[in-house]
């Protein structure tokens, strides 16, 4: 059940740029064509001469929004068009506003510029790329290297050792909804319609940039056409758009071209993952070392958190993580679904697969033998951890017992090599502070306004279902309002904490509502008669913070800042878990790799919304296959930036690539974590999926791949 399905398929759901306002003008961006340097001059004369052009602006008086992971509100701290510094290819150098989108685009393309070029460093190993030790560069406790015992010594003393270095390319999220929206002013009030996962950061970030009161800014984002992390903070086009709209006295719409989103939004940075494991002869892992170099920009330190998950995957007695940041000449990278967890599991779970071969043990058996109830780092118990159940059920559904472990041993009727691979994944369960306002109306309908953003994952459906089940009313009688700063706070929805953060405050709001309606604390409620007995509509407020989270987290959230806690809580640690089983077929003459079937079983606590949950897992698995076999943002070594910045040349998985994906859930509530028993799901869905594909390719072909993506030319 998806409560907004009807609105979506009939086109009634309004996304950011869908607004059509009287007198609306259209904007377009002109982008820098050099990778780094100084802007000497911009020639806007040809642009200004295009019929219908209203304004061509190259400079704005805008403060930095600050970097979202540095206490600010922006996807990066650098605000283009405020000085002559060019930090990356594709950085905006001018904005054009015209009567039509065609005129604006034509004018933007007519803008030329002169630059004084400086040398660029674009790769992890480029000359001039600066490598920093993360825990020294960003001295925050949660970014310190994770260590327990003397992992190097334990590995050296172990009878079996194995290591591997894996390269993960930069990748871009390409949400269906392009970045952009409509801004307009109503007197002194700025109104922003833009697809975002973090309406409150836009509000407070724009207040900081423009030097106005946040009380005078409204951000509306009731629907987002895919976020994936790229829309988790203030993007650089919105501040300039607000200023030109004010100057012209007209609403202005800007929708970035797909190719522009490759430089005016964050991306998954390149990383190198070195894994070293020690084990006994049975494959029981004794210790692990995980060393990571991750790309960042010159102007911001995008923190790496790869080791947070690998440290918790198995029952280790010793572990050493080390993360370094490599400063390169790009826009600031950012979060992209399972930002660290997917790359790190791609590496870690292939090394575990190699270990299984080395000790001659089935890879499912080996993983089960390394299961644990205790977090190796903190020594605390996991609140719930059913990854062994995921493995057992997945193996059964997949028919894993029919696997011949010998590589290249299984063939299809057409001669294709068949490979079966397995991998597990985990994802930290963080929790955000949230506010909820519930209103029971005289018509019997219940309206719920709560922190959250609907970006296709189905949070609106999940909330509606929870309220309907609690009160025993039809889902159609529940109205859910999210993503709108005029009805609530709208803390960032990301990191798979949306459902597990919103539902607890909705849940306590429901208890409150029942009190005010003078009905029992549980059981079905006749809402309209209860409201009639009170004599008027009833509104209640409730909030919730994560376990052990200080109450001032709510104040942080209400001022547009991050207010999250986890995955380590007082007395326990919480992660979501998944096991993926993948079949690949490698056609022997063309070496084309197909993925005919996948079985994925997840432990996300109680499944709050079965339809949207299964859909999340399918999406994550599809993306994992894409990461394994297709996706790579190709660096343009001549001019900086990314050269395959279109959907033609940045191939994502399409329907024709996707065959059977069976999804199942363990569905056991985690009441220690929160009163609704729900953990996160969206991102864990993808974690380990690329590794399972790579392990299947190894099983099919006998070859291990240390770099993604794995394409025909690598298998041939
Ligand atoms: Mo997600 S990559 O935390 O929006």
- pLDDT mean values, one per 10 residues, the chain (716 residues): 93 95 98 97 98 98 96 97 98 98 98 98 98 97 96 98 98 96 98 98 98 98 96 98 98 97 97 98 98 98 98 97 98 98 98 98 98 98 98 98 98 97 98 98 98 97 98 98 97 97 98 98 97 98 96 95 97 98 96 97 98 97 97 96 96 92 98 98 98 98 96 89
DSSP 294: E
Where does 443-497 have alpha helices with state H?
A: 459-471
Give residue 624 CA to ligand 1 midpoint distance, Å: 15
d(CA 442, CA 410): 65
d(CA 494, CA 16): 19
Long-range contacts of 354-363 (CB under 8 A, 24+ apart): 354/162, 354/164, 354/704, 355/160, 355/162, 355/277, 355/279, 355/283, 355/285, 356/283, 357/405, 358/160, 358/162, 359/160, 359/279, 359/281, 359/282, 359/283, 361/282, 361/283, 362/403, 362/405, 363/422, 363/695
Reply yes or no: is the peptide bond before residue 709 cis, omega within 30 of 0. yes
- Record the tokens describing residue 318, joined without a space: 């010793």
Answer whether 336 contacts ligand 1 (Cβ < 6 A). Answer: yes
For 599, the 3-state DSSP assignment is strand
Q: Count the neighbouring beta carbons within 10 Å of the beta carbon of residue 475.
A: 14
- 183 φ/ψ angles, rounded to the nearest 5 degrees: -120, 150
Where does 336-453 have alpha helices with state H?
A: 341-359, 363-369, 387-398
| End-to-end alpha carbon distance in the chain | 44
Task: Please identify, by atom number, the ligand 1 atom nearest to the C-alpha of residue 337.
Answer: 2
d(CA 669, CA 22): 50
- Record the tokens describing residue 145, joined without a space: 């290297």
| pLDDT value of position 1 | 84
Q: Count the neighbouring beta carbons within 10 Å of the beta carbon of residue 362.
A: 17
Q: Count the neighbouring beta carbons within 10 Å of the beta carbon of residue 548.
A: 13
Answer whether 169 contacts ligand 1 (Cβ < 6 A). Answer: no
Owner of token pair 């698995």: 621
Give residue 337 CA to ligand 1 midpoint distance, Å: 5
Answer whether 227 contacts ligand 1 (Cβ < 6 A). Answer: yes
Give residue 604 CA to ligand 1 midpoint distance, Å: 17
Task: Please identify, by atom number, the ligand 1 atom nearest to the C-alpha of residue 231.
Answer: 4
Strands 446-450 and 434-440: antiparallel
Q: What is the DSSP string of 26-66?
A: EEEEEE--SSSEEEEEEE-HHHHTSTTEEEEE---------
How far does CA 335 lie from the centroid of its chain? 5
Answer whether 376 contacts ligand 1 (Cβ < 6 A). Answer: no
305-326 exposure pattern, b = at least 16 Cβ within 10 A, e = fewer: bbbbbbbbbbbbbbbbbbbbbb
Query: What sign for the dihedral angle of Cα 213, 215, 220, 226?
Result: positive
Reply yes or no: is the peptide bond before residue 172 cis, omega within 30 of 0. no
Q: Count the neighbouring beta carbons within 10 Å of the beta carbon of residue 535.
A: 8
Q: What is the DSSP string of 419-450?
A: EEEEEEEEEE--EE-EEEEEEE-TTS-EEEEE
Going by C-alpha positions, the residue among 40, 166, 140 that lies closest to residue 562 is 140
287 touches 277 (CB < 8 A): yes
Answer whether 335 contacts ligand 1 (Cβ < 6 A). Answer: yes
How many angstroms separate the Cα of 473 from the Cα of each of 243, 360, 429, 526, 610? Answer: 46, 56, 30, 8, 18
Nearest CA to ligand 1 atom 4: 229
Same fold, 15-331 and 337-427+566-716: yes
Give residue 497 CA to ligand 1 midpoint distance, Å: 9
| pLDDT value of position 123 | 98
How far does CA 140 lie from the centroid of its chain? 22
Owner of token pair 């001022």: 559
Give the chain's radius of gyration (CA, Å): 26
Task: Please identify, by atom number, the ligand 1 atom nearest to the C-alpha of residue 682.
Answer: 1
How many angstroms separate the Cα of 195 from the Cα of each of 179, 182, 198, 257, 490? Answer: 7, 10, 9, 15, 13
HSE-CB at 242 with a 13 A cutoff on CA atoms is 30
Answer whether 619 contacts ligand 1 (Cβ < 6 A). Answer: no
Which CATH number does 15-331 carry? 3.30.365.10
Q: What number is the ipTM of this complex?
A: 0.96
- 342 φ/ψ angles, rounded to the nearest 5 degrees: -70, -50
175 touches 453 (CB < 8 A): no
Answer whether 628 contacts ligand 1 (Cβ < 6 A). Answer: no
Task: Please identify, by atom number, the ligand 1 atom nearest to the C-alpha of residue 229.
Answer: 4
- Record the tokens describing residue 173, joined without a space: 């999220």
Domains of the chain: which residue ranges? Answer: 15-331, 337-427+566-716, 431-557
263 touches 331 (CB < 8 A): yes
Answer whether 456 contacts ligand 1 (Cβ < 6 A). Answer: no
Nearest CA to ligand 1 atom 3: 495
Task: Please identify, by atom number, the ligand 1 atom nearest to the C-alpha of residue 493.
Answer: 4
5 touches 462 (CB < 8 A): no
pTM: 0.97
Answer whether 269 contacts ligand 1 (Cβ < 6 A). Answer: no
Q: Count the neighbouring beta carbons within 10 Å of the beta carbon of residue 708.
A: 25
- Record the tokens describing residue 322, joined without a space: 């080390």
Question: Residues with Cβ < 8 Å from 102, sequence gap 6 or more?
Answer: none
Pick the CATH number of 431-557 from 3.10.20.600, 3.10.450.40, 3.30.365.10, 3.10.560.10: 3.30.365.10
Q: Count the neighbouring beta carbons within 10 Å of the beta carbon of residue 259.
A: 18
d(CA 464, CA 1): 10
DSSP 254: E
HSE-CB at 471 with a 13 A cutoff on CA atoms is 36
Question: Residues with Cβ < 8 Å from 117, sequence gap 6 or more?
Answer: 34, 35, 36, 37
Owner of token pair 């071209």: 257
CATH level 3 topology of 337-427+566-716? Aldehyde Oxidoreductase; domain 4 (3.30.365)
d(CA 94, CA 681): 40
């Amino acid at each position: 059940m998806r409560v907004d399905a009807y609105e979506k398929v009939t086109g009634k759901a309004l996304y950011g740029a869908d607004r059509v306002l009287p007198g609306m003008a259209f904007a377009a961006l002109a982008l820098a064509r050099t990778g780094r340097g100084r802007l000497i001059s911009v020639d806007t004369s040809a642009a200004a001469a295009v019929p219908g052009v209203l304004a061509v602006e190259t400079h704005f008086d805008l403060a930095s929004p600050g970097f979202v992971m540095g206490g600010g509100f922006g996807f990066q701290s650098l605000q283009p068009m405020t000085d002559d510094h060019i930090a990356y290819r594709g950085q905006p150098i001018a904005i054009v506003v015209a009567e039509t989108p065609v005129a604006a685009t034509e004018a933007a393309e007519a803008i030329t510029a002169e630059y004084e070029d400086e040398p660029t460093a674009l790769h992890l190993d480029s000359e001039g790329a600066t490598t920093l030790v993360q825990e020294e560069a960003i001295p925050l406790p949660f970014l310190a290297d994770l260590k327990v015992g003397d992992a190097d010594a334990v590995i050296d003393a172990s009878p079996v050792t194995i290591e591997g270095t894996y390269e993960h390319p930069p990748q871009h999220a390409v949400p269906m909804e392009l970045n952009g929206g409509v801004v307009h002013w109503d007197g002194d009030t700025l109104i922003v319609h833009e697809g975002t996962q973090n309406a409150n950061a836009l509000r407070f970030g724009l207040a900081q940039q423009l030097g106005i009161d946040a009380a005078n800014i409204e951000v509306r984002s009731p629907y987002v056409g895919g976020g994936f992390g790229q829309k988790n903070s203030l993007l650089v086009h919105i501040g300039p758009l607000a200023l030109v709209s004010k100057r012209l006295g007209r609403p202005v719409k800007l929708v970035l071209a797909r190719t522009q989103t490759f430089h005016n939004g964050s991306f998954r940075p390149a990383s190198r993952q070195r894994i070293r494991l020690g084990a006994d002869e049975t494959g029981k892992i004794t210790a692990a070392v995980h060393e990571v170099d991750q790309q960042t920009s010159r102007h911001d330190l995008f923190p790496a958190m790869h080791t947070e998950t690998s440290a918790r995957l198995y029952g280790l007695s010793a572990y050493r993580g080390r993360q370094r940041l490599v400063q390169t000449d790009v826009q600031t990278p950012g979060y992209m679904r399972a930002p660290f967890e997917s790359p790190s599991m791609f590496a870690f779970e292939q090394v575990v697969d190699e270990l299984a071969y080395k000790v001659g043990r089935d890879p499912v058996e080996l993983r089960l033998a390394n299961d644990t109830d205790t977090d190796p780092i903190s020594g605390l118990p996991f609140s719930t951890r059913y990854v062994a159940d995921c493995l057992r059920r997945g193996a059964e559904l997949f028919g894993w017992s029919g696997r011949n472990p010998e590589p290249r041993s299984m063939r299809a009727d057409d001669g294709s090599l068949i490979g079966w691979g397995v991998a597990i994944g985990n994802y930290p369960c963080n929790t955000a502070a949230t506010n909820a306002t519930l209103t029971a109306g005289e018509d019997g309908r219940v309206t719920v306004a709560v922190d959250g953003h609907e970006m296709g994952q189905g949070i609106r459906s999940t909330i509606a279902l929870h309220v309907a089940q609690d009160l025993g009313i039809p889902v159609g009688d529940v109205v859910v309002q999210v993503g709108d700063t005029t009805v609530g706070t709208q803390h960032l929805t990301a990191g798979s904490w949306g459902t597990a953060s919103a539902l607890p405050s909705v849940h306590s709001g429901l208890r409150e509502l029942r009190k005010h309606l003078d009905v029992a604390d549980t059981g079905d409620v006749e809402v309209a008669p209860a409201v009639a007995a009170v004599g008027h509509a009833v509104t209640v407020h409730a909030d919730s913070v994560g376990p052990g989270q200080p109450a001032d987290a709510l104040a942080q959230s209400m001022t547009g800042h991050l207010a999250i806690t986890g995955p380590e809580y007082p007395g326990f640690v919480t992660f979501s878990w998944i096991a993926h089983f993948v079949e690949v077929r490698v056609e022997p003459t063309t070496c084309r790799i197909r993925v005919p079937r996948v079985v994925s079983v997840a432990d996300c606590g109680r499944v709050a919304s079965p339809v949207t949950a299964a859909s999340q897992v399918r999406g994550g698995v599809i993306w994992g296959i894409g990461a394994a076999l297709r996706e790579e943002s190709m660096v343009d070594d001549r001019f900086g930036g990314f050269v395959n910045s279109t959907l033609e040349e940045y191939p994502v998985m399409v329907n024709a690539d996707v065959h059977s994906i069976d999804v199942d859930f363990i569905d056991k509530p985690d009441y220690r974590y929160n009163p609704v028993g729900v953990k996160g799901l969206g991102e864990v869905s993808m974690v380990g999926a690329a590794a399972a594909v790579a392990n299947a390719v190894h099983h099919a072909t006998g070859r291990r791949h240390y770099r993604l993506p794995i394409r025909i030319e690598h298998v041939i």
